[in-house]
Amino acid sequence: MKLSETKKDTHGTVKRIEGDAHFASRVTAIGMTEGVPFQTVRNNKRMPVLVYLRETLIALNRADAERIEVEVK
């Protein structure tokens, strides 16, 4: 499942980060790495996806959220 497909209050872990080296470097710099647990705080259409991980609230644009594969609990 893609991060962009999760619903509010979904808990899970990041399974895989797809994309080029620049994208992977950018999201790992903010703490989103494979295996990290997360919670989706908000996921409304046409708005950034808000996720809570590593005690930080992160906003990702929808295109970036499409590149992140997650496993939902």
Per-domain residue ranges of the chain: 3-72
Q: How far apart are CA 28 and CA 68, in angstroms?
A: 11
pLDDT of the residue at 57: 97
The CATH number that domain 3-72 falls under is: 2.30.30.90
29-66 per-position pLDDT tens digit: 999 999 999 999 999 988 999 999 999 999 999 999 99
pLDDT of the residue at 6: 97
Q: How far is CA 60 from the centre of its chain?
A: 7
What is the mean predicted confidence (pLDDT) over 22-35? Answer: 95
pLDDT of the residue at 23: 95
